Structure 1
Amino acid sequence: MPATEIELKFEVEGPFEPPELLRGVGVREVEELATKELRATYYDTSDYRLARNGITLRYRTGDGDGSGWQLKLPVPGKDGSERFEHHISGAGNRVPHAARDLITALVRSEKLAPVGRLRTMRRGWSLVGAEGRELAELLDDKVSVIDKRRVVDMFHEVELEARDIDRKGLNRIGRALELAGAVPSSGAPKIVRALGRGVLAATDGRAPSSLAPSEPAAVAVTSAIAGNVGRLIVNDPPARLGHAAGVHQMRVAARRLRSDLRTFTDLVETEWAGSLSDELRELARVLGEVRDVDVLQANLRASARGLETSLEPLFDELARRHERARLCLCEYLRGPRYGELLERLNAAAAVPALTGEAAVPCESALPPLVARAWKKLAASARGATTHTADEDLHRIRIQAKRVRYAAEAVAPALGTARGAEAARFAELAGDVQDVLGRHHDAVVASEVIAAIAAAAEPGAGWHLAAGRLIERQQRIAETARSDFEPAWKKLNRKKRRAWLT
């Protein structure tokens, strides 16, 4: 698994030395490290897709064990100061397959080539805390930009990299550096500073920065699709690495994209949307095979307290299922079908295939689209009781999710007040979805446990524990049934639907 790099960057003028103020923020000793001369060649596409998405790919020498290929990927949901750092073996004249695999979603069919060469003269200090723990490294970098063996630019920056310290502690040290005169920088990677911030100008499809109710609905469609394509792409690398959160978020992105195409069905071309939705369904399926086992394992382990030893056969089988599903996912993500889908999604994020109705203003065109999804949900849910069949509750859950996604897709384009009402409506639909999600997960878990137990070797202890675990899942399902009615009542209030008209 990759390491998570957490670093703060600063700009300084003139010579730099660690300030005495560090000793007031938990630093007991400041130990100077050997000076290094680092040489790095950075790789990117011709339109700087990696740089524009906070990704660094380089081959570096001069750093001892840290020399070689390095790939730094943003941590989804975090700012640019936190990145996953991968060290990958390979010759310095060719990008390793393992590196390219992790950036497939961005690079797609484009070539990777050198875009910059940097030489860094680095002084460093180890910041040691109590009990001899290394809290962080403080690095003083004087960087030269090299073009054909000639220095064409220079800059100076200081980095503070976490070692055995949390983000809060790192920030305290960072504030001490500020008090000593260091100025927090944008945190941009060195190659971005070397190339100039103009490389960050977007050329791929990106969600518009703002929406207005008077704008054509086409803008809202483009924003929703571009936002979820971006979400899918940024979670592709962690999904390939087997991170549960990455798989989950990538699946959510695929499902939201399908929901967007369904919600905006009057605004997008039917054949175009249907074909794209079919491909997204397959992506969601292979992701779901992994995600479903992730959820099942987590839920059952939380419910199995006191039974863990007896239930080892169950968890062993789930682990085998997870590994099979993971291998199938990796095979799909490395295949041509997914590559073609990525190209289509990128094109859809930039220029979706729209109908003439997409020219109607957002405030008029969008609420009726959500109202249509709401009517389907209301027709199913208003007659539901605590005795409603499991499969019917599952259908209501799916409909609630569609309503939630639809409301979330249009809310940013409806103005402040109406948009807030739509967002609250989506939140309440999400509550219904979550309650029925717990019910569905428990029902599925009971079925899986029973099936695995039936196929397993006879064993009194194991089967008894499986029976008790099924009972616990049944109680969870019954509690969720009871929680459904109050959640539905909150969503089904007339005032919550006022924004739809």
Structure 2
Amino acid sequence: MSSETELKLGVAPEDLPKLRRLALLSRGSLEPAATKHLKTVYFDTADRQMAAAKITLRVREDGRRLIHGVKVPHKSLAGLATRREWEVESRSPVPDFSAFPPGTVETVLDTGALTPDRLEATFETDFRRSVRRLALGTGGEVEVAIDEGAIRAAGRGEVPISELEFELKAGEAADLFTFALAVAEQVPLRVLVASKAERGARLAAGTLAAPAKAPRLDLDAGETTGEAFGRIVTECTGHWLANVEAVLDGSNPEGPHQMRVALRRLRSAFKLFRKVLGPEPSRALSDEVKWLAGSLGPARDWDVFIGDVAGPVFEALGPDARFDRVLLQAEAERRLGYGIAWRALADERHTRLALSLGRFVAAAEWREGGDAKRLDQSVTVFAAEALDRHFKQVRRSGRRIMELEAEALHALRIEIKRLRYALEFFAALFDPREVRRFLDGLSGLQDFLGNLNDLTVAQRLITTLGKSDAGRAYAEGVLTGFYGASLERKRKSLRSQWAEVLVQERFWRD
């Protein structure tokens, strides 16, 4: 078995000639560049077990040789993927598990059940690869590959391959990110999270990139505070990048929602750990995360307005030309909002932020100027202190809750959200039943404050929909009346919801 650490970057086809001429990609060459034609057939079961498990099963034509490969994802950092891989040569045109050494691929596949009659070719890649091995100034080595071609699936057409791949052969991952940042300064690039195999599986299935929720973060009590922070940043960055394609597709509101959640969690992590981090580049990165999250705001606000606030009420009340006109104008605003998000994702700032965060984690850059003593202490100590601090802030923000105006309630909502994010980050360090009980105790109040915020945003948005007239005023009045009455009913239970928060046991003190 071998392990590969590689960073894939997309490049526009029209920029490939410029990329090939780039001096950075030839300076320090350890061997002459080589170009070869690679054609690979990917296999799966009829029920797509390989795609579901993100296991790649392929047969690649390399000249006259047939290379059989099994590849399994291991971990990822800002697009830098580490994968376990087994490759053998065989004359069979279909996967031949007997060609692999005993005790290798059987660790990830039930090879006895994957008989030839159960496997079928699902798609193929066909591209030219130009490869060069370079010495990095830091003493590391990287293999640079430029791929140009297509992914094809029978009956589904094809999608282009136009990408740059860096595979770390020697040295540190941080050096690879530094090198990628230097290249991105000269040629527009974008971080690719989905492999060719994943993109091919989507093409074959006729599906779009699905929005991704945050994976469970399993911190270990034996980790230091610095190590835990690095893992949290890695998880949040991966969550954000996993939703880029879903946002660009624009058909599922969950895409922008999940990406914005990821970015908010990431920014919350910087705030949570700020007293132990070195000020730079932590502060600059947090500011860039804020910029990117802000670019998703208009799209998300209009998604909520149409799908969760105005749309359901107008539909329930039946056909009305005044409602139709408001929704038509809102849809136009939503398209403009998505345009803002798409431009941000195409901006070089987006790529630079992702690569900079990768280097930030790989090199533990937060240690420079940070509190070394606290960074090296057990994360359980830090978690208890942080949760205590956030819980106290929630209690301060909610004093005399029945007298709080909308602005103060919004501030309370933000504090509760920060506490919730912190609990989710550190959940694996504590009894899951205690964590769930605490989160359930927050849910009633958080739901009320979320509904209040949705109405406040909706009232602001509807006033931007063209010239004010009787029709718009009527629609605005309907929404305010409907949700106002609903919130008023819920407000009656606000005191008891707040009491439920106050009585929560601070289990992290045990």
CA offset digits 1:315-358 (Å, max 9, x no partner)? 12211211111111111111122222111222234335133111
* Residue in 1 that maps onto 2:348: 336
Residue 150 of structure 1 and its aligned partner are, at CA, apart by 3.5
Q: Cα–Cα, structure 1 residues 484 and 239, in superposed 2: closer, same or farther, change >3 Å?
A: farther
Taking a change above 3 Å as real, the CA distance of residues 427 and 96 of structure 1, as seen in their structure-2 partners, is: farther
Deviation string 1:367-395 (CA, Å, 9 cap, x unpaired) is 1112111111101213201x531111111
* 1:261 paired to 2:270: yes
List alignment gaps of at least 5 residues for structure 1: 1-45, 58-93, 100-108, 126-141, 159-177, 192-198
| 3-state SS in 2 of match to 1:215 | coil
Q: Per the alignment, in what secondary structure is the counterpart of residue 118 of structure 1?
A: strand
Deviation track 1:18-55 (CA, whole Å, cap 9, x = no partner) reads xxxxxxxxxxxxxxxxxxxxxxxxxxxx95445xxxx9
- The letter of the residue matching 1:309 is D
Partner of 2:438: 425
1:494 and 1:339, CA in 2 relative to 1: closer, same or farther beyond 3 A?
closer
Aligned with residue 147 of structure 1, among 62, 65, 74: 62
Partner of 1:212: 220
Q: Write the letter of the residue equivalent to 1:336.
A: E
Equivalent residue in structure 2 for 1:468, among 469, 478, 488 = 478
Which amino acid counterpart does residue 328 of structure 2 have in structure 1? D
Q: CA deviation at 1:116?
A: 7.5
Q: Which residue of 1 aligns with 2:288?
A: 279
Q: What is the CA–CA distance in structure 2 between the aligned matches of 1:121 and 1:214, rounded to whole Å? A: 41
Aligned-residue offset at 1:287: 0.8
Letter of the 1:448 partner, please give it. Answer: L
Deviation, 1:500, is 3.8
TM-score, length-normalised on structure 1? 0.60
Superposed CA deviations along residues 268-312 of structure 1, whole A, max 9, x for unmatched, are: 113332211111111111111111111111121111122443312
Tell me the secondary structure at the aligned position of residue 353 of structure 1: helix
Whether contact under 8 Å (1:407, 1:425) holds in the other structure is no
**1:228 matched to 2:143:** no
CA RMSD of aligned residues (A): 4.4
Mapped contact 1:397–1:433 kept (Cα < 8 A): yes
* Identity percentage of aligned residues: 23
Q: How do residues 236-251 of structure 1 correspond to structure 2 at under 5 angstroms?
A: 236-242=244-250, 243-251=252-260
Offset at residue 398 of structure 1 (A) = 0.6
Match of 1:388 in 2: 404
2:209 is aligned to none
SS at match of 2:366: coil
For 1:375, what is the secondary structure of its paired residue? helix
Q: Within 5 Å, which residues of 2 pair with 1:386-425? A: 387-412=403-428, 414=429, 416-417=430-431, 420-425=433-438
Closer/same/farther in 2, CA of residues 431 and 466 from structure 1, 3 Å limit:
closer
Q: Give the counterpart of 2:299 among 275, 280, 290.
A: 290
Q: In structure 1, what is the Cα distance between the partners aligned to 2:312 and 2:292?
A: 29
Shift of 1:463: 4.1
Alpha-carbon deviation of 1:450?
A: 5.0
The question of 1:309 aligning with 2:320 is answered yes
Q: Distance in 2 between matches of 1:457 and 1:208?
A: 49
Q: Residue 258 of structure 1 aligns to which amino acid in structure 2?
A: R
Distance change (3 Å), C-alpha of 1:431 and 1:203: farther
The farther-off stretch of 305-314 and 259-268 is 305-314
Instruction: Provide the residue aligned with 2:457 in structure 1.
Output: 444
User: How much does 1:456 deviate?
Assistant: 3.4
Name the aligned partner's letter for residue 234 of structure 1: A
Q: TM-score, normalised by structure 2?
A: 0.60
Is residue 2:39 matched to residue 1:118?
yes
Q: Structure 2: any 5+ residue segments left out of the alignment?
A: 17-23, 27-33, 47-56, 68-88, 97-111, 126-166, 178-192, 194-214
Provide, for residues 67-92 of structure 1, a one-character-per-residue CA deviation record: whole Å limited to 9, x for no partner: xxxxxxxxxxxxxxxxxxxxxxxxxx
| Letter in structure 2 aligned against 1:474 | G
CA–CA distance in structure 1, aligned partners of residues 458 and 313 of structure 2: 11
Report SS of the residue matched to 2:66: strand
Counterpart in 2 of 1:374?
391
Range that drifts further, 355-364 or 262-271: 262-271
Alpha-carbon distance in 2 for matches of 1:377, 1:253: 22
Query: Do the aligned residues in 1 keep the contact of 2:217 with 2:425 (CA within 8 Å)?
Result: no
> Which residue of 346, 358, 378 corresponds with 2:375?
358
Tell me the CA shift for residue 190 of structure 1.
7.8
AA aligned to 1:449 is I
Alignment of 1:481-496 (within 5 A): 481-495=491-505
Aligned residues: 356
Matches of 2:59 and 2:464, distance apart in 1: 64
Task: State how 1:52-131 maps to structure 2 within 5 Å.
Answer: 96=13, 117-118=38-39, 120=41
1:85 is matched with: none
Residue aligned with 2:391, SS: helix
Match of 1:289, as an amino acid?
P
Structure 1 counterpart of 2:438, one-letter code: F
Per-residue CA distance 1:381-428 (angstroms, 9 max, x = gap): 13201x53111111110110011111111222x2x53x6534543453
Name the CA shift for 1:209/1:49 in 2 (closer, same or farther; >3 Å). farther
Match for residue 144 of structure 2?
A: none
Alignment of 1:498 onto 2:504: no
Whether contact under 8 Å (1:239, 1:247) holds in the other structure is yes
